[in-house]
Structure 1
Amino acid sequence: MSNEDLAKKKEGKFVTGIPDFSSDPVTGFGFGVRGNIYWNGERENPLFPYTPYLAKLKVNAAYYTSNARELAMSLDVPYYKGTRWRFKIDLKAQQNPANLYFGLTENTLGDLSLPSDPNTTFSTYKEYDEARKTLRAGEIGEALFVTDALSNRFRETEYMLNLKADYALGNGKWRIMAGYEIQNLKYKTFEGEDAEAINTATGEETTAPNGFSLLKRDFDQGKISGLNGGWISLLQTALIYDTRDFEPDPTKGMYFEIANEYSSKAIGSAYNFNKLFLQARAYKKLPFGKRTVLAGRIGVGNIFGTKAPFFEFQDQWSPEGSINALGGKQSLRGYRANRFLARSMWFTNFEFRYRIAETKIAKERFAFGVAPFFDAGTVRDKWQDLNFENIKFSYGIGARIAWNQSTIISFDYGISKEDKLFYIGIGQAF
């Protein structure tokens, strides 16, 4: 760490956290908490200037009126007892009925359309969302009149355990990592369930049975696999190069990784596939302001396996945490999560992180900054077709609160041609 940042680093154990409020038409009103417990050690420890912390325990818990819920815990111990080993343990139990699905090919790069009427398109998510609620005559197997309000939604129930260890090579810039993850997944779509509807004859709001979902249609037509869920067993490996000065909020350095996830029936998984992801990040401190940093990232990923399940297309695995792709708060912040999905993808992010002020309240140190950002990316059905055509862009402004340096509370407002979205979370986007 720089001498300036090192002088501000807090010793010993401390707790940070924020309440989590949200409201969604599907999940309902939700309340939760996101917190961290840090063990930084003492300043006399020779690792003190080099590690973000000696240990960190992260706990997220939330409950929603629709019975959606989440409990996630993560323990991270870098340079365990002064050795070259780093250990991470992740546990998660969650049920989320508000997941989104728009398709699984590069056709998702087109405008939004309804599963029941793919020829009618909408240029904004607001127009699309209103059209989904319009009552229509039911198809064979549906009710007499139905709504498509939940046509792009599905519920996921997940139980997950992940164990990872990495080993620092040479002077510590290179690391090799191996891990194992086991998940149990269950999925449900909302055919026949009462949902919001608009009577076209009267314009009145009402309720009606939901029609066939897009996910169920694609599964029944053999376009996707994985709707039956099951046990997923994964072997994870990665090669990492890391010269960042302070992992939670770098001012300089680089981070590069080649990460791979392997799933096979031979190791107890319900599916055969392989996921490869390459990511590079760079941070440059600029010579003006209290703490001004230009940050950039590029990621490229591909899924191998003709029967890879649909849910594996929805994130790229990284030792630093999975990244929703493509859309949402980790990739394209002006688009809904998983708006664009296909077998191959690339994306890039740029942020201009400018610190405005710092203060100390009691024994807690806070820093405040802004972060204008620009995001771009695209997807393809084959990695050989990845290029710079049909790129999706978003941009916006972010605010950052650094609490005792290690906890970064982020507020991002992203804008795209389809949507305007606001995110709150803990941690930098990258």
Structure 2
Amino acid sequence: MSDADLEKKKQGTFLTALPDVSSDPVTGFGVGVRSNIYWNGTRDDPRFAYTPYLAKLKVNAAYYTSNARELVLSFDMPYFKATRWRYKADLKAQQNPANLYFGSAEHTLEPLRLPSTPASGATYSRFDEYDKARKTLRSEQANEAPQVTDALSNRFMETEFMLNLKADRALGKGKWRILGGYEIQHLSYRTFEGTEAEAIDPSTGQTIKAPNGTSLLQRDFQQGRVYGVNGGWVSLLQTALIFDTRDFEPDPTKGHYFEIANEFSNPAIGSGFSFDKLFVQGRIYKKIPVGKRTVLAGRVAFGNIFGSKAPFFEFQDQWSPDGSINALGGKQSLRGYRANRFLARSLWFSNFEVRARIAETSFLKQHFSFAIAPFFDAGTVRDKWQHLSLGNIRYAAGGGLRIGWNQSTIISLDYGMSKEDNLFFFGLGQAF
């Protein structure tokens, strides 16, 4: 850490806890608590200037207006007992009925189209127009009620119970690390055929209730385009090679981060599915001579899923030891587009931010910093990694505010804009 930041680093054990008042365009408005207990040690500990903390316990619990709910426990110990080992354990239980599904192939790059509409049908350039069209009553198709709405046809419910254990070891002078982990999870899914939902009567324009039609996820499953809709047990072996020279993990001012991460799933290790996921990302943080503390941050990432029958839910995120990333769309990858708006077997994306600190203060023995963060995101997806290119890219841009609490806890507010949507995100932690 820089001398200026090291001087402000808090000693001992302390708690940062926030009422979880969050906002996400998909899961809605959330309330709960997000808390971190930190063990920082003392300044005479040789690790004090080089680790973000000696240990951290994260406890998150939240409930959202979409009826989503989650409980997350996470324990992290870097350089355990001054050795080269770092240990992490994560436990999660969550249920989310507001997950979005637009498909799991390259065609998701096309303009928005209703699940019940043929390829030659109407498309929508703005999400609000598309959302209104989804709710408009239409006539039945196979195995549907006489009049239905598609209001919930892009949604599905996921229920997850997960345990993850990881350990990594620093190599050489500590810049390189090798990681191994094991994760087991049980997943179940539900779509909303026949569920009463909001609808618009096209003859009067009034809002009424009507049964929901066949979901897009079920259509794709019935036509053999996706697998895994019935859920089940997923067992994963995780490995990663990491190069990390960041000066302070939660809010770096300089350094690089590079990783090659892999998840392997197979019935031989107790999984109901067989696939392999590869994710590669590189990040750079550079302090620039503008203002008191201005940092240019950038990331470029690539991911691919191997396995002809990989389950659809594995297309929705990229696993990283530094935190899984929803892709492609949402607050971690392509702000300005809904979460999982663009999905396929292969993808690349990039993010760039300028994080400029504008003020600092101390209050009740707590240190707070404030920074603005204009950003630019770009990315695309393909059905084969060999076809990844700089063509057919989706872009988003916007601005954010970063509030640092005792340096280790970062509160982020981002407003992203794209040609399809304008979205606001609020939560803990930075995008990268």
Instruction: State whether TM-score is above 0.5.
Output: yes
Q: CA deviation at 1:159?
A: 0.1
Question: Counterparts in 2 of 1:31-70, with a 5 A limit?
Answer: 31-64=31-64, 67-70=67-70
1:19-418 aligned at under 5 Å gives the runs: 19-21=19-21, 30-64=30-64, 67-118=67-118, 119-418=121-420
Amino acid at match of 1:192: G
Q: CA deviation at 1:59?
A: 1.2
CA distance in 2, matches of 1:173, 1:404: 25
Tell me the distance in 2 between the aligned counterparts of 1:125 and 1:30: 22
Shift of the alpha carbon at 1:18? Answer: 2.0
In structure 2, what residue type is equivalent to 1:32? G
Give the aligned residue type for 2:47: L
**Alpha-carbon shift at residue 339 of structure 1 (Å):** 0.2
Q: Distance in 1 between matches of 2:28 and 2:425?
A: 17
> Counterparts of 1:155 and 1:318 in 2: how far apart (Å)?
24
Matched position secondary structure for 1:274: strand
Aligned equivalents of 1:312, 1:23: Cα separation in 2? 25
Partner of 2:20, secondary structure, is strand
Structure 1 residue identity aligned to 2:182 = Y
Structure 2 CA distance, aligned partners of 1:9 and 1:240? Answer: 26
Distance 1:276 1:148, change over 3 A: same
Give the AA of the match of 1:300: F
Instruction: Provide structure 2 residue ranges, at least 5 long, that are not aligned to the other structure.
Output: none
Instruction: Kindly indicate whether the alpha-carbon contact (under 8 Å) linking 1:369 and 1:400 is maintained by their aligned counterparts in 2.
Output: yes
SS at match of 1:228: coil
Note the C-alpha offset of 1:285. Answer: 0.4
Q: Return the alpha-carbon distance in structure 2 between the equivalents of residues 24 and 290 of structure 1.
A: 32
Q: Report how far residue 20 of structure 1 moved.
A: 2.1
C-alpha contact 2:103 2:217 (8 A) present in aligned 1: yes
Secondary structure in structure 1 of the residue aligned to 2:419:
coil
Structure 2 CA distance for aligned equivalents of residues 379 and 24 of structure 1? 23
Q: d(CA) in 1 for partners of 2:319 and 2:240? A: 10
Letter in 2 for 1:240: I
Aligned to 1:311, what secondary structure does the other structure show?
Answer: helix
**1:15: Cα distance to partner?**
1.1
**Distance in 1 of aligned mates of 2:357 and 2:148:** 52
SS of equivalent to 2:123? strand
1:27/1:423 Cα in 2 relative to 1: closer, same or farther (>3 Å)? closer
Letter matched to residue 14 of structure 2: F
Q: Matched residues in 2 for 1:427 and 1:24: separation? A: 14
Matched residues in 1 for 2:281 and 2:166: separation?
Answer: 19
Letter in 2 for 1:172: G
Question: Residue 398 of structure 1: SS of its match in structure 2?
Answer: strand
- Alpha-carbon displacement from aligned partner over 1:139-196 (angstroms, at most 9, x marks no partner): 1200010000001000000000000000000100000000000000000000000000
The verdict on how the C-alpha distance between 1:26 and 1:201 changes in structure 2, with shifts beyond 3 A counting, is farther
> How far apart in 2 are the matches of 1:26 and 1:179?
30
Deviations 1:194-241 (A, max 9, x none): 000000111110000000000000001100001000000000000000
Report if aligned partners of 2:23, 2:426 keep a CA contact under 8 Å in 1: no
Which is further off, 173-182 or 9-18?
Answer: 9-18
Distance 2:23 2:2 in 1: 41
| Cα shift at 1:120 | 1.2
Superposed displacement of residue 418, structure 1: 0.3
Change (3 A) 1:161 1:108: same
Secondary structure (helix, strand or coil) at the match of 1:122 reads coil
Relative to structure 2, which stretch is displaced further, 284-293 or 58-67? 58-67
Aligned 8 A contact 2:149 2:211 in 1 = yes
Tell me the distance in 1 between the aligned counterparts of 2:25 and 2:47.
48
Structure 1 portions without partners, runs of 5+? none
CA distance in structure 2 between the aligned counterparts of 1:346 and 1:161, rounded to whole angstroms: 28
1:348-371 per-residue CA deviation (whole Å, 9 max, x = no partner) reads: 000000000100002100000100
Q: TM-score, normalised by structure 2?
A: 0.98
Cα distance in 1, alignment partners of residues 429 and 221 from structure 2: 36
* SS of residue matched to 2:279: strand
How far apart are 1:27 and its partner, in Å? Answer: 6.2
Q: Secondary structure at the match of 2:347?
A: strand
Measured in 2, the distance between the counterparts of 1:139 and 1:340 equals 26
Task: Letter of the 1:107 partner, please give it.
Answer: H
TM-score, reference length from structure 1: 0.98
| Secondary structure, aligned partner of 1:326 | coil
Relative distance call for 1:26 and 1:413 in structure 2 (3 A) is closer
Other structure's SS at 1:312 match: helix
Distance 1:351 1:26, change over 3 A: closer
Amino acid corresponding to residue 238 of structure 2 in structure 1: Q
Rounded to whole Å, the distance in 2 between the matches of 1:5 and 1:52 is 11
Post-superposition Cα deviations, 1:330-389, rounded to whole Å, max 9, x if no partner, equal 000000000000000000000000000100002100000100000000000000000000
Structure 1 residues 425 and 23, CA gap change in structure 2 (3 angstroms)? closer
Distance 1:26 1:342, change over 3 A: closer
Measure the CA separation in 2 of the matches of 1:23 and 1:205: 25
Give me the whole-angstrom Cα distance separating, in 2, the residues matched to 1:422 and 1:30.
13
Q: Report the CA distance shift for 1:171/1:249 in structure 2 as closer, same or farther (over 3 A).
A: same
1:15 correspondence with 2:9: no
C-alpha contact 1:26 1:97 (8 A) present in aligned 2: no
Q: SS at the partner of 1:41?
A: coil
Return the alpha-carbon distance in structure 2 between the equivalents of residues 64 and 278 of structure 1. 32
- Equivalent pair of 2:361/2:369 in contact (CA under 8 Å): yes
CA distance, structure 1, for counterparts of residue 24 and residue 424 of structure 2 = 13
Percent identity for Structure 1 against Structure 2: 72
Match of 2:5 in 1: 5
